Amino acid sequence: MNRTLLVDLQTRDYKEIWELQHRLVELRGQARLPDVLLVVEHPHVITMGKSAKPENILSKTLPIFEVERGGDVTYHGYGQLVGYPILDLSPRGRDIRDYLRKLERMLIEALAHFGITAQRIEGRTGVWVGHKKIASIGVAVRSWITFHGFALNVSTDLSYFATINPCGYDSAIMTSMTEHLGRQVSISEVKGPLMRVFESVFDTRLETTSEEKLAALHELDASGRI
């Protein structure tokens, strides 16, 4: 079983963590790092994937980034648990479709821990509860190293989705764990179950690592900060 470094970044700006992913992908491709999983919450932001249609942005009041992941327009914000796996797919069969299905399976199994029955819908990447979307997935792969990832709506203020047509759909299609369960769900109570399922689905052992240790070990930044 291989190991994956788990770095919990708490709440950080999108641009900073987007740039961090680029550095980690380069280092992983050079075998200077094992696999890495970043988990984070972002302040309000809109991102546009490679298939994004500008007309799906209904309001430009939030920061907007055009990025290299697949998919259309999405929103990130407080109460949403975002994960960025930096994984080498070479020993995993170089199968991007299989990787996407594993991300969906991980989220479905984690939601089941909370009594939420979720599923995938053929032709619609992401995870759904009935006909409502509870988690979005958008990935990029460079030299068989993955980046970008998944966003699970835990206690997200769903009104912010009204600034876009998320993945081309009406914003009313989005839901959250809090909305579905009718009680407040915290990010902290979701992290543990989700990380255990990640280990199982990706056959790896997570090792919690601080960003300072990661930076010092691989000299990512002369200041000692990622």
Is there a domain that residue 48 lies in? yes
**CATH classification of the domain holding 140:** 3.30.930.10
Share of the chain above pLDDT 70, in %: 96
b/e map of 165-181 (b: 16 or more CB within 10 Å)? bbbebebeebbbbbbbe
| Domain ranges, residue 138 | 2-218
pLDDT in tens, 168-222: 888 899 999 999 999 999 999 999 999 999 999 999 999 999 988 877 766 665 4
Q: What is the mean pLDDT of the chain?
A: 93
Q: From the candidates 36, 134, 140, 167, which is the catalytic residue?
A: 167
Is there a domain that residue 207 lies in? yes
CB distance 89 to 95 below 8 Å:
yes
Residue 104, CA distances (Å) to 9, 109, 150, 216 in order: 22, 9, 9, 33
Is there a domain that residue 226 lies in? no
Domain count, the chain: 1
Is there a domain that residue 180 lies in? yes
For the chain, state the CA radius of gyration: 17
pLDDT in tens, 29-45: 999 999 999 999 999 99
**Is 167 one of the annotated active-site residues of the chain?**
yes
Give SS3 for 161. helix
Is there a domain that residue 223 lies in? no
pTM score, whole prediction: 0.94
